[in-house]
């Protein structure tokens, strides 16, 4: 199991244009610094679904069109219908990449967009868009990999969604190594390390995990089945971002614990940080930085091996 300073490298599929490649329809190059920093901590797997289905660069615009019961992917200048090709590619690609922990997909793209993609009412050149939807590659990702960490570059701009995505990504990557080990001992170590963190997400389900592990104690031969059951519950727990009121609890406990070492001024300063976090004026990473300083300076026992105080590499919080 990882120490506080070592993380398992997650595998992340990323829209190739967000990685700096000139694969966009107009050959434009995007600069996205977060991906540059992420490269240091994760294995990046770039993909451009439109190039993969044979569209060149530069290329004419393609659009999503709402049909009776389906969505078409259409290039009006060539009159080509591309949905079938795209769906076939997406299914094959995801079948070939099973060791993945998360995705960053390009916002609003008719292929990669997980949301906010314009859906047109017809294939005519003057067609208007009536509502927004999901790009075709992204739709397959959401359908087949909904338990993984999926986001777009727009959502990552917000502290709260970035926090959730990074936590989910690194927790799933660590769990992937537990699954591969088939080891009940590793599962228990994972649970000890992540218990507080999971509680901030879902208290009752975390209790269920406690129980599942206690009941399985006597029967460690059955490790694979227990790990499988644990994974299902873990995915449910990590599916939605936690509430601020839950997230803050371990930090309130940290203050209680470290108060014995702190000056009144330090205590007041941290209480102010807690208030600022509650009021959405301070990212969680700032609270973590303070607790990590206390751990190094005074006493590591409280934070040792506890993922809630370091669920992912710190530099990613503000990259």
Instruction: Considering the complex, state which of residue 132 and residue 211 has its C-beta at the smaller distance from ligand SF4.
Output: 132
80 CB-near residues (< 8 Å, 6+ apart): 74
* Min CB(24)–ligand SF4 separation in Å: 4
- Contact with ligand SF4 (CB under 6 A): which of 12, 71, 106, 187? 106
Window 46-65: contact mask with ligand SF4 (x via CB under 6 A): --xxx---------------
Considering only 10-18, 191-199, 210-218, 246-254, which stretch makes contact with ligand SF4 by CB under 6 A?
10-18
Q: Which of 1, 13, 17, 72 binds ligand SF4 (CB under 6 A)?
A: 17
Stretch that binds ligand SF4, among 4-12, 45-53, 152-160, 305-313 (CB under 6 A): 45-53
HEC sequence for the chain: CCCCCCCCCCEEEEEHHHHCCCCCCCCCCCCCHHHHHHCCCCEEEEECHHHHCCCCCCCCCCEEEECCCCEEEEECCCCEECHHHHHHHHHHHHHHCCCCCEEEECCCCCCCCCCCEEEECCCCCCCCEEEEECCHHHHHHHHHCCCCEEEECCHHHCHHHHHHHHHHHHHHHHHHHHHHHCCHHHHHHHHHHHHHHHHHHCHHHHHHHHHHHHHHCCCHHHHHHHHHHHHHHHHHHCCCCCCHHHHCHHHHHHHHHHCCCCCHHHHHHHHHHHHHHHCCCCCHHHHHHHHHHHHHHCCCCCCCCCHHHCCCCHHHHCC
Q: Looking at 24, 59, 194, 288, which residue binds ligand SF4 (CB under 6 A)?
A: 24
Nearer to ligand SF4, 21 or 212 (CB): 21
Nearest approach, Cβ of 136 to ligand SF4 (angstroms)? 10
Q: Which is nearer to ligand SF4, 86 or 234 (CB)?
A: 86
16 binds ligand SF4 (CB under 6 A): yes
- Residue from the set 87, 111, 199, 303 that interacts with ligand SF4 by CB under 6 A: 111
Residue 104 or 198: the one with the smaller Cβ distance to ligand SF4 is 104
| Binding residues for ligand SF4, total number by CB under 6 A | 12
Contact between 109 and ligand SF4 per CB under 6 A: yes
Nearest approach, Cβ of residue 135 and ligand SF4 (Å): 8
Note the residues at the interface with ligand SF4 (CB under 6 A).
15-17, 23-24, 48-50, 106, 109, 111-112
């Amino acid at each position: 199991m990882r120490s506080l300073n070592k993380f398992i490298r997650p595998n992340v599929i990323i829209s190739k244009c967000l990685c700096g490649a000139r694969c966009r329809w107009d050959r434009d190059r995007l600069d996205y610094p977060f991906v540059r920093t992420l490269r240091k901590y994760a294995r990046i797997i770039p993909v451009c679904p439109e190039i993969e289905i044979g569209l060149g660069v530069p290329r004419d615009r393609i659009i999503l069109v709402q049909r009776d019961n389906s969505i078409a992917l259409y290039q009006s200048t060539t009159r080509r219908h591309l949905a079938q090709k795209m769906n076939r590619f997406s299914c094959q690609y995801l079948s070939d990449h099973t060791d993945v922990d998360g995705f960053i997909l390009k916002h609003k793209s008719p292929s990669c967009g997980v949301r906010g993609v314009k859906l047109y009412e017809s294939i005519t050149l003057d067609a208007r868009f009536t509502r927004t939807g999901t790009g075709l590659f992204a739709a397959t990702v959401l359908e087949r990999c909904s338990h993984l960490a999926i986001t777009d570059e727009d959502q990552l701009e917000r502290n709260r969604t970035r926090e959730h995505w990074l936590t989910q990504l690194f927790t799933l990557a660590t769990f992937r190594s537990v699954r591969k080990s088939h080891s009940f001992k590793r599962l228990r170590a994972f649970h000890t390390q992540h218990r507080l963190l999971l509680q901030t997400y879902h208290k009752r389900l975390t209790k269920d995990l406690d129980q599942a592990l206690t009941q399985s104690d006597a029967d460690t031969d059955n490790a694979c089945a227990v790990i499988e059951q644990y994974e299902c519950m873990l995915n449910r727990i990590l599916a939605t971002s936690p509430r601020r009121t839950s997230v803050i609890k371990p930090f309130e406990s940290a203050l209680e614990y470290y108060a014995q070492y702190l000056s009144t001024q330090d205590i007041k300063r941290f209480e102010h940080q807690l208030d600022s976090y509650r009021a959405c004026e301070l990212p969680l990473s700032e609270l973590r930085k303070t607790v990590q300083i206390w751990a190094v300076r005074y006493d590591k026992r409280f934070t040792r091996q506890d993922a809630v105080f370091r669920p992912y590499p710190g530099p990613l919080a503000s990259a």
